């Protein structure tokens, strides 16, 4: 997993303090049906933590006003079938400049690319947003709108914005809290056999695998994230993580399948495909191998456990 508490600092180049007379930073998070919830939730959590810190300090400091946006507004479904409420991008409330705008990714991005209203809005909003950051597949939407976004990690970008206004120490503490949350979200089987010391390059590649697990991935892509040759990357990843990148990716997908089995009523085949596993039959084989149960048995056991509490 990427070390955000250290790496965000290289993005935080602006001096601390107000850049104008206002104390509210308007941040937009653009969503669409089928967006990836975990990555978007981390961005939201970062700014929530920043606001909570300012409130706890009792200071009249910067406040981040974060808005969830979609073309039509209203209820939007994430790729894991969790619904969130959004404001329309055309709402008068959201007229004017954004301090930062994040554009979500996820399995629904291909449908979003065909939404001319969304692409047109991104084209219109660009001159009114100081910074625009894609979240993984959100890069495709920005490219369709004629932008060429940089390669900065969106969570690191959010932390750098916070650090610029609240200071390096505040951003570092928030990064540590988010890192702990990321760890807590993973199954023990994903972390099993991982070395205590993992290099930043391998952590970055593991995090990239986690964020892109829903789609087909070539090992050449991941090696590029780690800035290594494919051969050297495969060797280093196995040495430091205790498993091959392919095995790690499969376990990440299995972890997400377990979450959907426990939290939703989606058919097993649909759960598998949403998490990057080819079919329900394939998911059943993997689940039996690692946990000794079928998807139906796993779902039933989790429901029973929840009902008994």
Residue 242: how many other CB atoms lie within 10 Å: 15
Give me the mean pLDDT over the 289-301 stretch: 83
Residue 225: how many other CB atoms lie within 10 Å: 18
Q: Please, are residues 109 and 34 in contact by the beta-carbon 8 Å criterion?
A: yes
Token pair belonging to 231? 């051969």
CATH code of the region 4-171: 3.40.50.880
Regarding beta strands 83-88 and 132-134, do their DSSP bridges make them parallel or antiparallel, or are they unpaired? unpaired
Residue 2, pLDDT score: 45
Task: Reply yes or no on whether the pLDDT at 8 is more than 90.
Answer: no
Residue 141, pLDDT score: 92
Are 4-171 and 186-309 in the same CATH fold? no
DSSP state of 244: -
Of 104, 163, 96, nearest in space to 133 by CA: 104
Task: Reply yes or no on whether the pLDDT at 71 is more than 70.
Answer: yes
Please name the residues in contact with 25: beta carbons below 8 A apart, sequence gap of 6 or more.
62, 63, 64, 65, 99, 100, 161, 165
- Per-residue pLDDT tens digits for 175-233: 877 765 554 444 444 555 555 467 878 888 888 898 888 889 999 999 998 889 999 99
Query: Which of these ranges, 21-30, 223-232, 263-272, 298-307, has the smallest mean pLDDT?
Result: 298-307
Residue 181, pLDDT score: 58
Percentage of residues of the chain with pLDDT beyond 90: 29
Token pair belonging to 79? 């790729």
- Per-residue pLDDT tens digits for 242-275: 889 999 999 899 988 988 888 888 899 999 998 9
Architecture of the domain delimited by 186-309: Orthogonal Bundle (1.10)
pTM confidence score: 0.58
Residue 306, pLDDT score: 54
Give me the mean pLDDT over the 277-305 stretch: 84
Q: pLDDT confidence of 19, banded at 50, 70, 90?
A: very low
Please tell me the distance from the alpha carbon of residue 87 to that of residue 82, in angstroms, as a whole number. 17
Beta-ladder partners of 29: 68, 102
Cα angle: 22, vertex 23, 26; to 5 degrees: 90
Task: Reply yes or no on whether the pLDDT at 116 is more than 70.
Answer: yes
Give me the mean pLDDT over the 42-55 stretch: 89
Q: In the chain, where are the structural domains located? A: 4-171, 186-309
Residue 279, pLDDT score: 93
């Amino acid at each position: 997993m990427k070390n955000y508490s250290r790496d965000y600092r290289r993005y935080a180049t602006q001096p601390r303090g107000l850049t104008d007379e206002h104390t509210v930073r308007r941040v937009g998070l653009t969503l669409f049906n089928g967006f990836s919830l975990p990555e978007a939730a981390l961005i939201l959590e970062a700014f929530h933590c920043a606001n909570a810190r300012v409130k706890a300090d009792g200071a009249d400091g910067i406040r981040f006003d974060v808005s969830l946006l979609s073309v039509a507004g209203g209820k939007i479904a994430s790729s894991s079938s969790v619904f969130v409420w959004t404001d329309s991008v055309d709402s008068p409330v959201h007229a004017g400049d954004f301090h930062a705008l994040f554009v979500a990714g996820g399995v629904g991005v291909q449908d979003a690319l065909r939404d001319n209203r969304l692409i047109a809005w991104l084209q219109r909003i660009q001159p009114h947003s100081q910074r625009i950051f894609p979240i993984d597949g959100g890069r495709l939407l920005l490219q369709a709108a004629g932008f060429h976004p940089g390669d900065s990690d969106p969570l690191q970008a959010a932390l750098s914005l916070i650090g610029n206004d609240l200071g390096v120490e505040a951003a570092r503490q928030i990064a540590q809290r988010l890192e702990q949350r990321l760890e807590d979200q993973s199954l023990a089987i994903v972390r099993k056999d991982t070395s205590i010391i993992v290099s930043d390059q391998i952590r970055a590649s593991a995090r990239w695998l986690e964020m892109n697990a829903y789609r087909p991935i070539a090992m050449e892509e991941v090696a590029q994230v780690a800035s290594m040759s494919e051969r050297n990357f495969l060797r280093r990843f196995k040495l430091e993580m205790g498993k091959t990148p392919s095995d790690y990716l499969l376990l990440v997908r299995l972890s997400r399948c377990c979450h959907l089995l426990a939290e939703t009523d989606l058919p097993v085949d649909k759960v598998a495909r949403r998490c990057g596993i080819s079919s329900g039959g394939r998911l059943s084989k993997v689940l039996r191998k690692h946990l000794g149960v079928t998807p139906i048995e796993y779902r039933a056991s989790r429901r029973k456990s929840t009902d008994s509490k």
